Every structure is written in C-alpha cells, then in structure tokens.
Amino acid sequence: MSSLPNPVRAGIRAVGLLLARAGWVDVRRAMRTAELAWPRVVTGMARMSKATVDVAMVGLAVGPAAIAGVGVATPFWTLAFMVGGGIAGATISLVARHYGAGRRAAIDRAVKGSAALAVATTLPLSVLFWAVPEPLIALVGPGAEATGYGAAYLRLVGWAMPFAALSLVASRTLVGAGDARTPMAVRVGGAAVNVLLNLAFIFGLGMGVRGAALGSLVSNAGVAGVFAWGFAKGRLPGLGALPVKIAARTHAPDRATLRRLVRIGAPLAGANVVRGGGQFPLLAVVSLFGPSVVAAFVIALRVRDFLNTPGWGFGLASSSLAGQALGRRQTGRADAYAREVLRFAVVVYAIGAAVAFAGARPLAHLFTSEADVIALAVGLIRAACVSAVFWGVLSASVGALRAGGDTRWPLYGNLLGLLAFALPLAYAGAVPVLGLPALGTEALWAALGLEMAVPAAVAYGRFRTGRWRQVERPRRAAG
C-alpha cells in the first residue's frame, strides 16, 4: 500500500509540515495525526461517494425528479450513520482509553455492546422504511413524481442501515486502537463495489433508483461481513493482524458498559440526528421554492458532505490520540493533541473549500445537465463551501469532546443552529414574513452557513474551557 502514489496522504503531510514550520503544531504530533487522519479521509470520501454516486447516476439515467427523490430519501436511510455514528462515537471514546490503559477485556465488552445497540436501534427503522416509505417521503413534499422515486429507493436501501451501523462501530474500534488503514481499505473496497454494482443495476439492467438502492445494500452488507470475519480471526487477508480481536464466547457486555455507551453515545446520536435529520424540515421548506431549487440544494448538500470528509479523519484522530492519552492520565498530552489537530483540520478544510468554491460550476455539471438547476446550484455550492469551513471547526472540537466523554454540548449547538437560524432563514427566503418580501434563494446561502457556524461556535467554546479532560475518567477495571 505504501508503495503506491497517495496524494491524500502526501497532501495532508505537506500541510502538517508547513504548519510545523510556521510553529502552529509540533512536527511529531502533526505526523502522527496525519498518519491516523489520512486513511479516515479516504474512508470518508469512499462513504460519501456512495450517496454522491447514487444521486449523480440516477440524475443522468432518469432526470432531476430522481435527483430530488433520492436526495430526500437519503437523509432517511442515513439515519443509520446518525444513530450508528453516535454509538460508534462512544465506541471510540471507550476503546481508545481502554487500549491506552491496556484493558483488552473491557474493549471486548465495549465493542459487543456497541454492536448490539447498533442493530437494536437501526433494525426497527429498516422495517419502518420498508413498510411505509411513501408517506415519509411525502412529508418533505418534493412533488408526486419525486416522491415515487424516493419511496422506491428508500424501501430497499433501508435494509442497509444495520450493516452500515455495524461497519461504523467496527471502523471506530480499529481507529480507537490506532489502526485507520484497515477500515480505509475495507470501506474503499466497498465503495468501489458500490460503483460497479450501480453501473450494472442502473444502466445495465435499467433498474433506475431501485438499482442504486440495491447497490448500496449489497456493498454495505459486504463491508460489515468483512469486518465481522476480521474481528473473529484477528486478521484480514492482505491487511495483516488487527490490533483488536473479539472473543466470540467471553466478555459479554455488562450493564455498566452499556450505560456508559448510552450516556456518551446518546448525545452524539442526538446531535447527528439534529444535523442530518434537520435536512427533512429544511428540504420541506426548500420545496416551497420548487423542484429545481430542491435539486440544486440537494447537489449543494452532497458537495458539502464530500468536503466534510477531512472531519472524519481529524475528528477521529483527535478522539483516538487524545483518548489514549487520557487513558494513560496524560492530560497535558491530550490537550496538546486536541488543540493542534483542530488547527490542522481547519487549514485542510479551508484549502478544500477554496478549491470547490472556484470549481462550483464544473461540480454542478457532474450532477445534471439542466441549465436552470446548474445556475441555482452554483451559488448554493459556494455557500456550502463557506459552511464547510465551520464544519471543520465543529468536527475537530467534537473529536476532543468525544475523547473525554463530554458529548452534550454538540447536541445543544446543533439544535440552536437548526431551529434558531437555518430553518427561519430558509422559510423567510420562500415566504413573506412580518410584511417583508421573501428574501429569495440567497436566504438559503445564509441558512447553509449559519447551520454550521452556530454549532461550531458552541462546540469550540466548550472545548476551550478544557472541562472535557475531566468529564469521563475510566475506572481501573480488571481486564
């Protein structure tokens, strides 16, 4: 793997070296951060590519109504990543500290408890989305044609949710133990399979949106199966030994472990649901502008999601490195890692956002050939680029908070940003308020920015207090 050209690794290391030369970060910590972050960035690109590929391919094969339908359905099934991400956030918090303290039995209990919670919370949603997809999509109101496409997609892709949640738990377990390359390899492989399946199902078999859903289902199931096999064996062919091996018949999760997972993970899941689930009311408001604006807005969201992929690398690097330091009772080292990862992350985000801002029009053309949608999407993509920089601050700040188990403040920030700023602004763009004329689509630009800026300010403010270093002190339990 290391012999192949790797522009992501080279780019992140180059930024780290420049920051070290400027005196903003310690060079050794920067290089360790880069080595842990870049595989997660690639993994994030792979994961985001699944949703992006679905939208782009159905847009080219079917049209703008399919873009709107799949775009509205995507937040429903990605509840797996929102809820599962909260559970996985608790997983990395516990695994990093247990790994740093050498408590292997406690890692077993944390991983098994996380897996059980992941399935228990996502499987009922899969059943719901299979049973009543049309009323759910219609709640957002994208139009009759788009609702039909969205329901067809959601009914099938919903069964991917438990597999996606389990894959998140597995990935965070390995990252918490300092191995980011294995989950990268597995999930990038899954993304490549997803693209090939989409090509076969959507274009080869003419299955349209159902083909996109089936490709996502099969690829997610395959990734979860590979992780399960690797944890059982303690290694994966071609990738070598894993830092964690899960014993099948011992170390069942106890109540204390489950309580800690819920206490740490529930606020993270809540923050994810507010941020991701907030797309439902936001898309409902955007639908007041008409289907072309909905399609353009969905394109901007997909671009922003892709720009956020560095956050997975840096946020999880902060959780792992700071968490392991906390497990060894090295609070000064934990603080140094957290602060420097944040600086590192914001610079990388700013570079990516600047490139996407300049290339907004070519990016829009990747999703559609409709001139009116492209014209609308360009401005929204550029607004999304600005908001992505705030997302960088948020991701890195939450990474540190997660390391210490201090996970409530991101939830508060996301609620404030959505309810007090993004939704009211978007509504004022479509509908006259207090006798004032509607603000137009420019209000959506501001909504995209403040949706991220407000929670970023709240999380960063909490991080600056330093209280996260004392919130969760793991017990010196046996094992």
* pLDDT confidence band for 478 (50 / 70 / 90): very low
**Across all residues in the chain, what is the average pLDDT?**
84
pLDDT over 90, % of the chain: 28
Q: Which residues contact 71 (CB under 8 A, 6 or more apart)?
A: 55, 142, 283, 294, 295, 297, 298, 301, 302
Evaluate if residue 473 carries a pLDDT over 70.
Answer: no
Place of tokens 């949608």: 373
Q: Is the dihedral of CA 118, 124, 127, 128 positive or negative?
A: negative
What's the confidence (pLDDT) of residue 103? 81
176 has pLDDT over 50: yes
- Both tokens assigned to 400: 């540190």
For tokens 């049209």, the residue is: 63
Residue 92: how many CB atoms within 10 A of its CB? 30
pLDDT digits 0-9 by tens, 328-375 = 888 889 899 999 999 999 999 999 999 999 999 999 988 888 888 899
Number of helices and strands (H, E) in the chain? 21, 2
- Comparing 375 with 320, the larger pLDDT belongs to 375
Token readout for 262 is 């819920």
Instruction: Specify the amino acid at residue 398.
Output: V
The pLDDT of residue 376: 92
**pLDDT tens per residue across span 29-79:** 999 899 888 887 877 776 666 666 667 777 667 677 777 777 778 777 777
- Say if residue 95's pLDDT is above 90: no
**Residue 335 identity:** D
The more confident residue out of 280 and 362 is: 362
Residue 470 pLDDT: 76
Q: What is the pLDDT of residues 246-261, one digit of tens each?
A: 877 776 777 888 888 8
- Cα distances from 58 to residues 29, 69, 146, 180, 378, in angstroms, run 43, 10, 12, 32, 20
Question: What is the number of alpha carbons within 13 Å of residue 411 lying toward its C-beta?
Answer: 16
- Which pLDDT does position 391 carry in this prediction? 92
Percent of the chain surpassing pLDDT 70 = 92
437: Cβ contacts below 8 Å, ≥ 6 apart: none
